[in-house]
Chains A and B, each alone.
Chain A
Amino acid sequence: MNIVMILYYAITAFIVLMLAWNFVREKKKVNDMVLYLLVLLPLVLRLLRVK
């Protein structure tokens, strides 16, 4: 794994944390909660090296 790829995984992990944090903090808007999770799904699969 080269340095650029490692950086991309680091960026992905950062975005996953931000989305998860926003999901946890969201109090009212269910639409936004769904949106956070939808965006999260492919990023989690990439972090887990599934897809």
Chain B
Amino acid sequence: MKKSGIAKIILGVVFAALAVVGGLPLYKHRHYKMPVIAGPGVTRVIKLSDFVPSLKGSNVDTDVFVLEGREPGGKALLMANTHANEPAGLLACLIGIENAVVEKGTVYIIPMFNASASRNTKAGDGYPLYFDVPTDWGAKRFRMGNRDASPLEQWPDPDVYIHYPDRQLLSYLDVRNTNRTWPGRANGQIMERVTFAAMELLRRDKIDVAIDFHGAETMFPVTNCLVAPDKSSKIATLTAMTVKAREGFDSHVEPSPRNFRGLSHREIGDFSDTLPFLLEAPIPFLDQPTGPKTVKLMLDGKDPFLLSLSKKNKLFVPYDENGWPMEKRVGQHLSTALEILRQFTKKNAARPIVLSGVPRYAEIVQAGVGKYFHDPAKADAKQLYYE
């Protein structure tokens, strides 16, 4: 055999090995099924495709857990993983699904709003594919996703994304960002259909309050806050003041900009009767000038470079040797959400939304997030859902 033939065989074998070694973890990540236990409060589980049938059977369709109260009342929607690289909201929603019992009203929870983004990765930026949360029964594993939906669901990206219906020109990447495609449309790009399905849920079921859980960099000004349009600002302000006074954490109010389109806190308010809120908890993992993007950094939020920047007043949140751990972020999300619902109930006595069984900030910071997750191996198969 000629030398070139031998070289080709060797190169072909190396190519196949690289494709398998590089591709297999990505394939496994994309097909990893995370178990979710429907707790005692969950009365039924519906799908986003119930509102836009063209999503049925696709990787973007996702579960909507419905927790109906013993007594009638108002309705609230909690959403997480709009950006799947901001997982504190996902953990907050799962704690709600596994533990919450609704006394009055109805609560809808979508833990994996952008299901495709949760199957996308940022391996080139050194993101881990998974992260594990320690629990009493072992580690609970979660897929680490990305900000945008996977191109495997929606490809190619346009040169410029033209928002519907305002025709505002946005970054090409935002066509896969479900916090830029609100209010969406039934026959649009697949991410526009996802947000349109959520809008239909809000409108058809007459949902009063929508809360979208996010995370933001410590170096980004819109962090550690509650974003609300004018119609939600009174409840947002009362919530921010109450959690600060009663629970000791800061979550200031940011106004939803009127001329920046596609965001949930803007379009939900403009295109439905729902009061929208978007919660941002600081997530040091997403900051650019950090050390390696490890699972440890994701969970404890401790980074020496951010600490150094903090001493030079370059961060928008207080930051010390304790970092900004997941417990604080999840606790903030849950306490703020509960307070929003309490303030809504105070103002709308005829449409109360009252929950029990959901831990608040201090409890989560003390006990850890894992304490509130149950062992799927011991759960009734009828209660198990896979995201």
Query: Could you list which residues of chain A lie within 8 angstroms of chain B, going by C-beta atoms?
Result: 4-5, 8, 23-24, 26-28, 30, 33-34, 37, 40-41, 44-46, 48-51
Contact with A along B66-81 (1 / 0, CB 8 A): 0000000000000000
B30 at the interface (CB under 8 A from A): yes
Please determine whether A51 and B26 come into contact, CB atoms closer than 8 angstroms: yes
> Secondary structure of the A side of the interface?
helix
Residues of A within 8 A of B8 (CB): 23-24, 26, 33
B12 CB → nearest A CB, Å: 8
Q: Name the residue on A nearest B158 (C-beta).
A: A4
B15 at the interface (CB under 8 A from A): yes
A26 to B152 alpha-carbon distance, docked (Å)? 32
A45 CB → nearest B CB, Å: 5
Q: Name the residue on A nearest B14 (C-beta).
A: A37
A48 CB → nearest B CB, Å: 7
- 23 contacting pairs across A/B (C-beta < 8 A): A4-B156, A23-B8, A24-B8, A26-B4, A26-B8, A28-B4, A30-B4, A30-B11, A33-B8, A37-B11, A37-B14, A37-B15, A40-B15, A41-B18, A45-B19, A45-B22, A45-B26, A48-B23, A50-B23, A50-B30, A51-B23, A51-B121, A51-B152
Residues of A within 8 A of B15 (CB): 37, 40-41
Number of A-B residue pairs having CB atoms within 8 Å of each other in the complex? 45
Q: How large is the interface on B (under 10, 10 to 19, 20 to 34, 35 or more residues)?
A: 20 to 34
B27 at the interface (CB under 8 A from A): yes
Please determine whether A33 and B11 come into contact, CB atoms closer than 8 angstroms: yes
Contact with A along B98-119 (1 / 0, CB 8 A): 0000000000000000000000
B7 at the interface (CB under 8 A from A): yes
Residues of A within 8 A of B12 (CB): 37
B155 at the interface (CB under 8 A from A): yes
Please determine whether A5 and B155 come into contact, CB atoms closer than 8 angstroms: yes
Residues of B within 8 A of A5 (CB): 154-156
A51 to B28 alpha-carbon distance, docked (Å)? 11
Residues of B within 8 A of A50 (CB): 23, 26-27, 30
B181 CB → nearest A CB, Å: 15
Contact with A along B15-44 (1 / 0, CB 8 A): 100110011001100100000000000000
Q: Name the residue on B nearest A45 (C-beta).
A: B23
Please determine whether A8 and B4 come into contact, CB atoms closer than 8 angstroms: no
Residues of A within 8 A of B27 (CB): 50
B361 CB → nearest A CB, Å: 38
B144 CB → nearest A CB, Å: 15
Residues of B within 8 A of A46 (CB): 151-152
